[in-house]
Amino acid sequence: MTKYNNLWLFTLVFSFALQGSVLEVDESASIKNTTTTIVGINHIGLSVKNLDQVLKFYQRATGFEIVKQEVITFNDTADMLYATNNVELRKATLKAPNMLFELTQFSGNEDIPLERKPVIGPGMTHTCFQSPITDPAFTKFVHAGAQVLTKSNAPVDIGGYGVTYAYAYDPEGNMFEIEQLDKTILTRSGYDASWQDAGKKMWMSQVALATHDIERLMQFYQKVLGFKPYRMGTYSNSSKLDDIVNIDGVSLKGGWFKLGKRSKVMELWQFVNPQTPSTTYKRKPTDLGYTYSLEVTDIQAEYKRLTNLGVYFFSKPLPLGEFWHAYARDIDGNVFSLRQPLNPESSYALASIED
């Protein structure tokens, strides 16, 4: 959840020792402070079993335009990128006003049973869709057939500060968050009023990771991203928070990195009650579920920098489609990728998407 009210949040600017390093938290920190060539989140990826069904659901709910559909087979570069022999995939790319949303069906996943990822994780548990409160995304997702997780099947106003929250599942049990923002919060979140004029009434906002050790994972991402988180907090004893995640007596820690001016953040959670379990499972790029990408302007330099930091990559950077790509795993086993547009002026590059 993206949070906005310091009366409800426990938010401090501080630093603390961690495994011989210091994780620094600064409320003014954002991607503009990065020491890297990372420019922001380019896309949220979702690997699914039935592309046609899931695509229909998200199109109906979001109204996002399909900007590309593709089939890849018998491609040596794809095999190396996805670390899979004879990879076959179908992909549909949707364009939100501030990033891409890619749905991919990989062959070989047809017989894997679907299951709903627990709210407490571990792993990338969800992404988030935001809308003006006057044209709520929640209603659109329910009409599209979403299964609501939040109690009472309605968004929750947790603090009277202009945001209502709900969690729900898509047809394959992938969880997502829905936030409705009032006029004041829209302005503060980086909302562009021209989106409404252009009929863009919904957008995406975050990468959400649940971990058994939030300080450890935040230290990892501070090194990867090259800038400080802007917020950390501890949250408990809130019946409304319980309602949102549908867990009684929930207690958790949260931390955020600001990844763009258009409502984009990386959000990390550690559930304390009930506890986020640790895991030794190391995801592959073709596994069902969420991934995401960080767009960079020098993928070779970032590949070298992150490799020197100990980040695991499935392959060296390789060109495929509109981008140079390099898939990697974080220290919790979550899959992410680096992307650099082959053409800096590509309509799939962040500069074009955000303009």
Average pLDDT (331-339) is 97
28 Cβ neighbours under 8 A, 6+ residues apart: 230
Could you say which DSSP state residue 152 is in? Answer: G
Domains, the chain, in order of start with CATH, read: 15-33+114-273 (3.10.180.10), 38-113+287-354 (3.10.180.10)
* Confidence bin at 196 (pLDDT 50/70/90): confident
* Confidence bin at 118 (pLDDT 50/70/90): very high
Q: Which residue has the higher pLDDT, 296 or 188?
A: 296
**Interior/surface letters 85-110, b for 16+ CB within 10 angstroms, e for the rest:** eebbbbbbbbbbbbbbbbbbbbeebe
At residue 263, the pLDDT reads 74
pLDDT > 90: what percent of the chain?
A: 83
At residue 207, the pLDDT reads 97
Average pLDDT (190-214) is 87
For residue range 279-314, list pLDDT tens digits in order: 989 999 999 999 999 999 999 999 999 999 999 999
pLDDT for residue 82 is more than 50: yes
Angstrom distance (rounded) from CA 112 to CA 122: 19
State pTM to two decimals: 0.93
Q: Are 27 and 231 in contact (CB under 8 A)?
A: yes
At residue 7, the pLDDT reads 28
Q: Are 236 and 295 in contact (CB under 8 A)?
A: no
At residue 4, the pLDDT reads 35
For residue range 210-219, list pLDDT tens digits in order: 999 999 999 9
